[in-house]
Amino acid sequence: MGGPAVNKKQDDIILCQFRELELAYPELDLKKTPKGSWIIEGILRFKSNLNGAPFKSAFKIRLIIPPNYPEMYPWVWEIGDRIPEDYEHLFTNKSFCLGARIVVYKKFASDRRLLPFVRNQVVEFLSQFCYLMEYGKLPWGELSHRYGTLAHYQEFFSITETRKVLGMLKFLADNRRKNKFDGRIHCPCESGKRIKSCHDVQLREDALCPNHIFRNDIYTILKGLNDDDRRDVIGNSKVIPREYALKLEEEFRIKTDAVKGDKKKGEQLSFNFP
């Protein structure tokens, strides 16, 4: 009996937020699919300014509201064929890579409404694409979403070694108690210090975010590594758990000690792209 009540509450939130969004972008429409999913589709017309360069443009976009909205942000596609499919800042399903997932989530979590999400993240993404088309470069330099994810965590944790970054993300991915972990245990950065004397602030901040973000980011970082580095990390079971290695084995056909043995039914993870 809780299902319909929860769905109605979510529907009310989406309808209320869309009315606010529609006032700013009147060419967007909201519709509900036969399966009960909400989709926003239409022309997003905007003005922006990047590095002193003014832009006025319009894109046909589609936003799919996730089932757990507003816990998670919407997924966004450009459906007017202006952005090429091989544009580097798209995920494999061609939805927008708005930035490192953890950064996108934190921005959204600060104000879980459609209008600021579209205005501050979607419009910014499209403005950067316009800048690239006009000037042949991105306004803040070229950085792929795979390496951008790794670079974000390297800076956030002040750690340069990829293996240690992945160890931190594995700790966050495996943590089911949000930020209520024991600060007396040893820090996953391998410093030998206890968490409370090491990365306590950073881990507690990120631990408030959904676990699947860190699983996705582990996968994204691993995809960006060369074959030798990837085998080395996957072979270290203390860094990468077996289910991640199984996922990578499926995609890259890599055989390592971490993926030996029986593959139990249902053991493989879903990586929840995007």
Is residue 122 classed exposed, middle or buried when 0-12, 13-18 and 19+ CB atoms within 10 A define those classes?
buried
Average pLDDT for the chain: 83
What is the C-alpha to C-alpha distance for residues 189 and 191, in angstroms, rounded to an integer?
Answer: 6
**116 confidence band (pLDDT: 50, 70, 90):** very high
Q: Strand 28-32: give its sheet, edge to edge.
A: 28-32, 38-50, 53-64, 75-78
Q: What is the largest CA-CA distance in the chain?
A: 58
Q: Which domains does the chain have, with CATH numbers?
A: 2-135 (3.10.110), 145-259 (no CATH)
Give pLDDT, residue 93.
85
- Of 117, 24, 10, nearest in space to 66 by CA: 10
Give pLDDT, residue 126.
96
**258 confidence band (pLDDT: 50, 70, 90):** very low
Residue 21 backbone zone (phi > 0: left; psi -120 to 50: alpha; other: beta): alpha
Query: Quick one: average pLDDT of 217-241?
Result: 76
Give pLDDT, residue 142.
55
What is the C-alpha to C-alpha distance for residues 240 and 234, in angstroms, rounded to an integer?
Answer: 6
| Range with the poorest average pLDDT among 5-9, 90-94, 120-124 | 5-9
What is the C-alpha to C-alpha distance for residues 69 and 10, in angstroms, rounded to an integer?
Answer: 7
DSSP label at residue 259: G
What is the C-alpha to C-alpha distance for residues 254 and 162, in angstroms, rounded to an integer?
Answer: 19
Pull the structure tokens for residue 173.
């991915």
What is the C-alpha to C-alpha distance for residues 91 and 176, in angstroms, rounded to an integer?
Answer: 27
* pLDDT above 60 for 231: yes
**pTM (predicted TM-score):** 0.79
Can you name the residues that pair with 145 across neighbouring β-strands?
A: none
| Range with the poorest average pLDDT among 66-80, 88-102, 225-239 | 225-239
pLDDT tens across 43-67, in order? 999 999 888 888 899 999 999 999 9
